[in-house]
Chain A
């Protein structure tokens, strides 16, 4: 347990002491969950962007095929 903190207070992170006495920041469970959500959000956005690009590509392909078929 810590009675005299040494690291600056930081929202979402608590100060902990390692076995060798070193102090470090540890994320709270809420922070860990939020970071996981943020990472998942970034991944989902990238997937969405990729899906959109693929959709656009397919639409372009269809248009080109239509041009060829109905030319």
Chain B
């Protein structure tokens, strides 16, 4: 900055304001030889600088100085030992607690702890963890064996159990589960011509079956008064069904008659960022459609893909993290998993990465604010957890040795801010993010868990 250099320091010109007693307009009359740098917002605290400091709204210079003082030399993940107790909420006591919401900054630094007490296939009656579902706010493992269906808690306790062999069905083959309007609804299929939903009035209720004659049923969700189930018509066109109650009318909406599918399980539906989002793995493409109310649906959005979901073992999955949507498509035949990302559902989709050799199973999920791709290598029968870095690159965080092996992982996953359960056909692993345990006499140990926000 430059100082103002006046020829006549302090000189001003006063002009009386007409009709207002003792009121003057004042203009500088110091005739500067150097104008100096103006003291305005742009020079004191510009919007760009405020944003760089993480300040929003109308911050003052004092706010900026306060932020600088708090930023200090410490970075997220650093440990500080002090007798003070007023470090602020970005510093967390090192007492071994499980990480809670709002600390995404540190969650991709701390290596999760694997609990040795995680349930195994034995805990699931030999049926395995087929899919994790959150129903009425509680996570469950969805499992089936022949005509028997089970919902287990994450500790391995049976919450719901039924058998549909009495209805002349030999397999349940559950696709997903949803809870709404007092009902637990679980679509399934025996053979191609035996598509149905089973619904239960409460976990202790008996099963009611409703059959679907036109096509394949798939994953299901419930939001804003509507069950929405993704599927495929008898002509292999992508479609969804919606209903207000499971025993009532299910209305079919055909999303597109220009794209055909493979009669497989590569279809999911979620409620993401305020909209229903249905995704299908197609022939050299991924298809998606979205709806704000579950009844009126967009046209099919086509994401070109170099792989085809052409096997009954293939999957698609979707997640919304931060300000982006992510879709994953696996191909057992191509031995690849493709991940696509976009800020918008209807355009801007780009390939984030095509993972070679990984195939067969895959899940893309939000783990404590991070995008993770959990997948199984069909060739080596080993699994990995891959983390998407902020610069768009992918990093393999954990490999087969501490993830699992064989078919024991990556068919499904349950994630929260501090916990990641990875399951498959024979077992699942529980992962927790915990802050370290560090103790001293006379001083506390803290870990910096996020950047200062005030």
A binds B: yes
Q: Whole-angstrom distance between the alpha carbons of A28 and B441 in the complex? A: 14
The dominant DSSP class at the B interface is: loop
**CB nearest to A31 among chain B residues:** B439
Assess whether B89 is interfacial by the CB under 8 Å rule: yes
In the complex formed, the residue of A with least CB distance to B439 is A11
Contact: B439 with A3, CB < 8 Å?
no
- Give the chain A neighbours of B90 by CB distance below 8 A: 3
Q: Is the CB of A11 within 8 A of B437?
A: no
Is there an interface contact between A14 and B443, defined as CB atoms closer than 8 Å?
A: no
Contact B83 A3 (CB under 8 A): no
Nearest A residue (CB) for B443: A9
Whether, in the assembled complex, B129 has its beta carbon less than 8 Å from a beta carbon of chain A, the answer is no
The digit string for B210-221, where 1 denotes a CB below 8 A from any CB of A, is 000000000000
- Alpha-carbon distance A13/B441, docked complex (angstroms): 9
| Cα of A26 to Cα of B94 in the assembled complex, Å | 12
Q: Is A29 an interface residue (CB 8 A)?
A: yes
Chain B 432-444 near chain A by CB (<8 Å), digits 1 or 0: 0001010111111
Cα separation A28 to B434 with both chains bound (whole Å) = 14
Partner of A2, one of B93, B98, B442: B93
With both chains docked as a complex, state the minimum distance between the C-beta of B450 and any C-beta of chain A, in angstroms: 11
Looking at the complex, which one of A2, A6, A12, A29 makes contact with B95 (CB distance below 8 Å)? A2
Minimum distance in angstroms from A58 CB to a CB of chain B: 47
Option from A3, A11, A12, A26 in Cβ contact (under 8 Å) with B87 = A3
Q: How large is the interface on A (under 10, 10 to 19, 20 to 34, 35 or more residues)?
A: 10 to 19
Cβ of A16 and Cβ of B88 under 8 Å apart? no
Would B91 and A3 count as touching, CB distance under 8 A? yes
Q: How far is the CA of A6 from the CA of B86 in the complex (A)?
A: 11
Would you give the 0/1 interface string for B25-46, flagging 1 where the beta carbon is closer than 8 Å to chain A?
A: 0000000000000000000000
Chain A residue numbers with a CB within 8 Å of B100 are 1
Flag if B440 contacts A1 (CB, 8 Å).
no
Shortest beta-carbon distance from A63 to chain B in Å: 53
Known: A1-B92, A1-B435, A3-B88. A16 touches B443 (CB 8 A): no
Q: How large is the interface on B (under 10, 10 to 19, 20 to 34, 35 or more residues)?
A: 20 to 34
Residues of chain B within 8 A (CB-CB) of A13 are 439
CA distance A9 to B439 in the complex (A): 7
A28 and B449 CA atoms in complex are apart in Å by 21
Instruction: A13 to B437: give the CA distance in the assembly, Å.
Output: 9
| Chain B residues positioned under 8 Å from A1 (CB to CB) | 92-93, 97-100, 103, 435, 449
Q: List, in ascending order, chain B residues with CB within 8 A of A26's CB.
A: 95
B:83-140 near A, CB below 8 Å: 83, 85-100, 103
| A16/B97 contact (C-beta < 8 A), A9-B443, A28-B439, A29-B437 known | yes
A27 to chain B, nearest CB (A): 10
**A1-24 Cβ-contact flags toward B at 8 Å (1 or 0):** 111111001111111100000000
* A4 near B92: Cβ-Cβ < 8 Å: no
Closest to A17 in B: B97
Q: What residues on A are CB-neighbors of B99 within 8 Å?
A: 1
B92 surroundings in chain A (CB, below 8 A): 1-3
User: Among A2, A4, A16, which residue has its beta carbon within 8 angstroms of that of B86?
Assistant: A4
> CB-nearest residue of chain B relative to A13?
B439
Residues of B within 8 A of A11 (CB): 439-441
CB nearest to B82 among chain A residues: A9
Report chain B residues within 8 Å CB of A5.
85, 93, 444
Chain B 139-191 interface residues, beta-carbon cutoff 8 Å to A: none
Kindly provide the distance from the CB of A51 to the nearest chain B CB, expressed in whole angstroms. Answer: 37
Find chain B residues with CB under 8 A from A12 CB. 439
Q: Contacts A1-B93, A2-B93, A28-B96; is A14 near B87 (CB within 8 Å)?
A: no
A16–B437 Cα gap in the complex (Å)?
11
Would you give the shortest CB distance from B417 to chain A, in whole angstroms?
11
Q: Are A16 and B439 in contact (CB under 8 A)?
A: no
B368 → A minimal CB distance (Å): 13
Chain A positions within 8 Å of B437 at CB level = 14, 28-29
From A6, which residue of chain B is reached at the shortest CB distance? B85
**CB-nearest residue of chain A relative to B87?**
A3
> Given the complex, which residues of A lie within 8 Å of B449, measured CB to CB?
1
With both beta carbons as reference points, the residue of chain A lying nearest to B441 in the complex is identified as A11
Contact between chains at B95 and A16 (CB < 8 Å): yes
Query: Quick one: given A9-B83, A9-B444, are A2 and B439 in contact (CB under 8 Å)?
Result: no
| Closest A-B pairs by Cβ, 5 of them | A14-B95, A2-B93, A11-B441, A3-B89, A1-B97
Further contacts, 8 of them, CB under 8 A, given A1-B93, A4-B86: A1-B99, A5-B93, A5-B444, A9-B442, A14-B95, A15-B93, A16-B95, A28-B96
